[in-house]
Amino acid sequence: MNYTYIIKCSDNTLYTGWTNDLDKRLLAHNQGRGAKYTRSRTPVTLVYFEEFQDKQAAMRREYEIKQLSRSEKEALIASKEIIKGRA
């Protein structure tokens, strides 16, 4: 499985990425080995993710999310929280 994810950094910024191992990637971010952007912004918290069967789809979605404004990303995160609350 492949994932596109959004994490919230300690400075309240949002970072979007993709991975095939979400737990391992989050651990790497929090250990300062994730992305250069997140190294000085730990700890990070997972706030959103989507699952994909293939890497290319996850990478496409990462690009789409990165084009969104902060408010659009926050709306996306909030919409997922509503769905999780209903499940």
What ranges do the domains of the chain cover?
Answer: 2-82
Architecture field, domain 2-82: 3-Layer(aba) Sandwich (3.40)
Is the per-residue pLDDT at 30 higher than 60?
yes
Alpha carbons 18 and 62: distance in angstroms, whole number:
6
Three-class DSSP category at 57: helix
pLDDT at position 34 is 87
For 34, the token pair is 């994730």
Q: Share the mean pLDDT of the chain.
A: 92
Alpha carbons 84 and 48: distance in angstroms, whole number:
11
What's the pTM? 0.90
